[in-house]
Amino acid sequence: MTVQPHAGELAQPASPATASGLPAPGMAKTSVLWRRLKPIVLALIVPMLLLIFWQVATTQQWTRLIPTPYQVAEYMVDFAHGGIYDDAYSATLVTHLLASMSRVYGGFALAAAFALPIGLLIGRLEPARMLLDPFLQLMRPIPVTAWLPLSMILFGLGAKSAFALVCLGAFYPILLNTIFGVRSVDPKLFEAASMLGCKGNAQFFKVVLPAATPSIFTGLRLGLGLAWFVIVVGEMTGVPQGLGAVIMDARTLSRTDLVICGMIVIGLAGFLSDRVVVMVGNRLPDLLPAVETILFGKYVKQGYTVIVTGADGTGRETAVREVLSQIAPKRENPGDLVAAVNF
């Protein structure tokens, strides 16, 4: 049965996007926008739920010791710019933040300077592992807070003790991940490097370091996070400025709003620091060539054919077939010669 259109009714042509089965331009733009906003929207769900719970708990007076979110936000503005309460902590946020950042990044850099070479030695050399690993594993479970009295005795009151405690907190994550990265290097890479003429100390720079770099960056990320984690303990050593010092003073003065403000600033600063490390780590594949690229680019001449075989015999038949295909190109079945070779 054929349906005829009514008189005066014109048939509307289908749009190119609909006719081809593709989404309309407006829908495509909406889809792209949603893909960009989706991570942000999902990341805000948990903080918003926590904020709602906080507001309900304080307004319903489930507790009278915690200020409302509005009160904390108001004091955060005063902490950053002043002009509301005009107390001793008004407009001092930048000063305290910079003081804490100097101790966090200074202690983190000091920890990396010690942990990276020690981790490379323990991961690569068996005598170094037998000498240092038991002692370090014995010291690792001791919490940073237990070192607080000794740090004050050894380094005195002030910034030196804070540096030492932050360094101690960041040291072990960097060390352990460096050891793991070095020991996880595929042994076949060393075999391939040896066959290509890369031996001795050259293997350390051409094989070990590139292959262990992802694990090393994971350790750096964890170490920087723990450096912010222990900054409050580090600044319990009598420093006059710093977010940890502000939190401890606020605890003494029963200023819960100031305590929460300090916690929020530390969380945001640590989050931004972590994002920077993650962005650098994501760029590593572009900045550093793979181990195979380093080896083949340096030790293999242009135009040569390279076949890597394993110690267990993997790849040897392929190697023989390739050789036979070069020396006997006219033979119809090179496999006859391969079968005569004793692997």
For residue range 243-283, what is the model confidence (pLDDT) as tens digits? 999 999 999 998 999 999 999 999 999 999 999 988 888 87
Residues in the chain: 343
Q: How far apart are CA 184 and CA 341, in angstroms?
A: 35
Q: Look up tokens 């075999």; give the residue.
A: 191
Q: How far apart are CA 275 and CA 282, in angstroms?
A: 10
pLDDT per position as a tens digit, 90-137: 999 999 999 999 999 999 999 999 999 999 999 988 999 999 999 999
Residue 269: burial class (beta carbons within 10 Å; 0-12, 13-18, 19+): middle
> Is the predicted pLDDT of residue 299 greater than 60, yes or no?
no
Q: pTM of the prediction?
A: 0.74
162, 173, 207, 239 from 315: Cα distances, Å: 56, 39, 21, 63
Q: How far apart are CA 43 and CA 47, in angstroms?
A: 8
Contact criterion met (CB below 8 Å) for 265 and 97: yes
Residue type, 25: P
Give me the pLDDT at residue 313, please: 55
pLDDT band at 340 (very low <50, low <70, confident <90, very high): very low
64, 140, 263, 265, 279 from 270: Cα distances, Å: 29, 23, 11, 8, 14
Q: Look up tokens 């352990």; give the residue.
A: 176
Cβ-based neighbours of 80, under 8 Å, separated by 6 or more: 91, 93, 94
pLDDT band at 200 (very low <50, low <70, confident <90, very high): confident
